[in-house]
Amino acid sequence: MNLKTVLSNVDHACRKFPLRILGHPFKAFEEMKTEHMGSMGFCVFVLFLSCLLNVLEYVYKGFLVNYNDRYEVSTLYLMLVTAFPVALFVTGNWSVTTLLNGKGKFHEIFMVTMYALFPFCVLRIIGLILSNVLLLDEMAIVNAINGIGVAMFVLYLFIGLVVIHDYSFFQGVGMLLLTVFAILVIVFILMLGFSLVADVWDFLRTVWRELRLKF
């Protein structure tokens, strides 16, 4: 594979296909499912980008709208705050749709989520830059941009999921509600698991300490 094909592949994944989704979401998501359009690498990149953006927004958002404590930044925490919900959503959605005749596969759900997230990421970058040059009265522009970003994310996510699972509109709404429920269940089980592990760990430590005191 020479450089030219690599470049054209990258161009397709990063520019042409996202633009196609933007213009013809139903067709494009259908192509993703049937013709294996879109690239997994690009999706991982979007996930990483949104993690990074979270950190950048915390630190570099314009002073006028940045109320964060600049002396306490946890990069890992800020990244996890983005990555963990994505993992939760994808898992929750997959577990619901496998039970309900959804045609989408795990990696397709992930890719749809990431392709839906991409326009929001771009708008976030624009908002981040604008927040540094706009005045207090003009910050409404940044808020509007972010609002549009969120709306686009929700819209494209919904379209994408409906297409890859081959659902009707109301089935899609039901799927989303059930996904929220599934996420809550997962969180509950995770908390249960963590507290159990902590208890076991505590028990083992106590046993070890007792043994050490004894001998």
Structure tokens of 74? 């946890």
The DSSP element (H or E) to which 138 belongs, if any, is none
Cα 131 from Cα 137, distance rounded (Å):
11
Q: Which is nearer to another protein, 62 or 160 (CB)?
A: 62
Number of residues that bind another protein (CB under 8 A): 8
What is the footprint of another protein within residues 151-180 (CB under 8 A)? Answer: none
Which stretches within the chain are classed as H helix? Answer: 3-11, 17-23, 25-34, 40-60, 75-99, 106-133, 139-165, 169-214
Mark residues 67-86: x for contact with another protein by CB under 8 A, - for none.
Answer: x-x-----------------
Using rule CB under 8 A, residue 64 touches another protein: yes
**Is the CB of residue 46 less than 8 Å from the CB of residue 119?**
no
Q: Which is nearer to another protein, 135 or 211 (CB)?
A: 135
Taking the complex as a whole, the smallest distance from the CB of residue 155 to another protein amounts, in Å, to 32
Using rule CB under 8 A, residue 60 touches another protein: no
Amino acid identity of 27?
Answer: K
Taking the complex as a whole, the smallest distance from the CB of residue 71 to another protein amounts, in Å, to 9
Picking from 36, 51, 39, 16, the residue whose alpha carbon sits closest to that of residue 164 is 36
Using rule CB under 8 A, residue 35 touches another protein: no
Mark residues 113-142: x for contact with another protein by CB under 8 A, - for none.
Answer: --------------------x-xxx-----
Structure tokens of 124? 């976030």
| Span from 36-44, 62-70, 119-127, 190-198 in contact with another protein (CB under 8 A) | 62-70
Taking the complex as a whole, the smallest distance from the CB of residue 50 to another protein amounts, in Å, to 26
Picking from 19, 44, 50, the residue whose alpha carbon sits closest to that of residue 124 is 50
Question: If you write DSSP's letter for every residue of 28-39 in order, what string do you get?
Answer: HHHHHHHS--S-
Residues found near another protein in the complex (CB under 8 A):
63-64, 67, 69, 133, 135-137
